[in-house]
Structure 1
Amino acid sequence: MLTPLAPQPRDPAALPRLLLTGVALALLWPGLTLSELDLAVLWQADNAATMGKFLAGFWPPAHDAEFLELLLQATLQTLAIATTGLCLALLLAVPGALLASRALSISALLRHGRPAWWAQALRWPVRGLLIVLRSVPEIVWALLFVRAVGLGPTAGVLAIAITYSGMLGKVYAEIFESVDQRPSRALLLAGSSRLAAFAYGVLPSAASELLSYTVYRWECAIRASVVMGFVGAGGLGQQMDFSLRMFAGAEVASLLLTFLLLVLCADLLSRLLRGRLQ
């Protein structure tokens, strides 16, 4: 004789999940209202016809010799802006991360992981500086520097350098604190300098993650340099702004394909470097 199946116990997390979903929907509705999102405008006859006519010009992408020469120059300029800006950001980010991190704190080592109050007080100004640097978007810095130094790549380089120094410094400091601290602590207890403890105790464990994040930020810098081109900072963005103003869909298609290729190359470079370090 078959015995009836026992009733399945009720999921104890069902009610919290339902409440969380309700809260999320309640918060989402005012956000949609304040953003004035109206997808219906995409299907209005005039807008749809204009967009369709513009997209129809995407094929075939522009490939004449004169435009390809301009495209190559803009691509190289975009790479130069992103790379130079990132290198300048590293000059401030690495020292800032070392000063803001507790990974090499001698007071924390002597106090069983709890740094002294004065050591914490010395780190707060550095952390505050990193917050200030990354709190202003690079596009805003680019607008300010365009007013200060004029149109051209210099504004983009300085904007990336300032914003990304704060971003890199914050994440680097967190990476330094997240790795195994025992090698660096052993070196510090043996009398090594903080620089030696960092080079031989922290850096080997953090190198892969540091490199991966740095390459990711370089990819972000490429995208940012394209966006800043719309405000006159040079590169692919400035050329794309010109092509959009002229409704040259074929040129826009070539620019988008070039941008896609740059991001793909950055991703492949990140995979290759991480594979070498593992």
Structure 2
Amino acid sequence: MLSQRDPAALPRVLLTLLALALLWPGLVLSELNLAVLFDAGNLGNMGQFLSSFWPPAHDPEFLQLLAQATLQTLAIATAGMSLALLLAIPLALLATRALSISALPRGGQPAWWASALRWPVKGLLIVLRSVPEIVWALLFVRAVGLGPTAGVLAIGITYGGMLGKVYGEIFESTDLRPTRALLLAGSPRLSAFAYGVLPNAAGEILSYSVYRWECAIRASVIMGFVGAGGLGQQIDLSLRMFAGAEVASMLLTFLALVLLADLLSRWLRGRLA
């Protein structure tokens, strides 16, 4: 008779206990206390504020202000992504091994100096994406003042590092045989990239870029809380004035923006599939 005992039960239990043991210090350090949500005073304050969300504000003067803030949010996200692409594409080409002539199969080992030259570019990409965009926004607000310029620069720098890293990995994950054949035939690197790498990587690059544009919309709203313009700045002002109806209208608008970006991403994936 076969045993009904799971031989992997003990390792799973041990791994679960280890995960809980590692999670507990994190919960302690984060000072998580869910009991405050159910405090009578806090529940009353939250209930009073949430009750003011309905009906959402819809007077003409406010809707005009909301439309302007929404367009500004879209402009910040789009301009920031454009700046990020201007940074990411050249840096990704410099950091990737896909276009490395020294790595071509000519019977020898790749030159060590070719790899060493790529490390400063990879280091720059790490620096750009390591600092959160909200921190860059705070720095640029100090430098250029309040307004959408700080948000555009913050998104451009942070997302430039993110896109550069991912683009480089996408370039290296494609079939490199056409690219290497072109390079061995004496083709310039840009031509080898355009005809060897890009056709295989275009779909994945476009899909990830649209996803990052969706993230940029959310980031532009968050950065508005530090004075970078857009919907976030208006939400911050309405929260300070306890104008729940205005906050509800802006949250619904933000939800519509994210849904629009998601639909656009799905449509593009369907066209490229």
Seen in structure 2, the aligned counterparts of structure 1 residues 158 and 7 have a Cα distance that, compared at 3 Å, is: same
Partner of 2:220 in structure 1? 225
Mapped to 2, the partners of 1:253 and 1:111 lie a distance apart of: 64
Aligned pairs (5 A) from 1:35-184? 35-110=30-105, 115-184=110-179
Deviation at 1:111, TM superposition (A): 5.5
Structure 1 letter corresponding to 2:66: L
- Residue 186 (structure 1) aligned to one of 169, 181, 199: 181
Between 1:266-275 and 1:152-161, the stretch displaced more is 266-275
Residue 9 of structure 1 deviates from its aligned partner by 6.2
Q: C-alpha displacement at 1:10, in angstroms?
A: 4.3
Distance 1:112 1:266 in 2: 48
**Alignment match, 1:23:** 18
Q: How far apart, in 1, do the equivalents of 2:134 and 2:161 lie?
A: 15
Q: Which amino acid aligns with 1:29?
A: W
Structure 1 match to 2:192: 197
Cα offset, 1:110, TM superposition: 2.7
Relative to structure 1, the CA distance from residue 113 to residue 67 in structure 2 (aligned partners, 3 Å threshold; closer, same or farther) is farther
Q: 1:215 aligns with which of 204, 210, 215?
A: 210
Query: CA, structure 1 residues 122+7, in 2 after alignment: closer, same or farther (shift >3 Å)?
Result: same
AA partner of residue 79 (structure 1): L
Identity across the alignment (%): 81
Deviation at 1:13, TM superposition (A): 3.0
Which residue of the partner structure matches residue 254 of structure 2? Answer: 259
Aligned CA RMSD, in angstroms, stands at 1.4
Structure 2: distance between partners of 1:149 and 1:222: 21
CA distance in 2, matches of 1:206, 1:76: 31
Whole-Å separation in 2 of the counterparts to 1:28 and 1:112: 51
CA distance in 1, matches of 2:103, 2:4: 48
Q: Which residue of 2 aligns with 1:3?
A: none
Q: Which moved more, 1:175-184 or 1:109-118?
A: 109-118
**Cα separation, 2, equivalents of 1:173 and 1:111:** 23
Cα shift readout 1:195-232 (whole Å, capped 9, x = no counterpart) = 11111111111111100110111111111100000000
CA shift digits 1:162-218 (9 cap, x unpaired): 111100000000000111111212222222111111111111111111001101111
Matched, 1:271 2:266: yes
Q: Which runs of 5+ in 1 are unaligned?
A: 1-5
AA matched with 1:165: G
1:13 maps to 8
In structure 2, relative to structure 1, the CA distance for the partners of 1:274 and 1:153 (3 Å cut) is same
The 10-residue stretch of structure 1 (185-194 or 169-178) with the greater mean CA deviation from structure 2? 185-194
> Per-residue deviation at 1:17?
2.1
Partner Cα separation in structure 2 for residue 238 and residue 142 of structure 1? 13
Aligned partner of 2:28 in structure 1 is 33
User: Are the structure 2 counterparts of residues 112 and 207 from structure 1 closer, same or farther at C-alpha, using a change threshold of 3 Å?
Assistant: farther
**Which whole-Å deviations, capped at 9, do the CAs of 1:1-45 have from their partners, x for residues lacking one?**
xxxxx2236444333322221111001111111111111111111
TM (norm. structure 2) is 0.96
Distance 1:102 1:13 in 2: 41
The total of aligned residue pairs comes to: 273
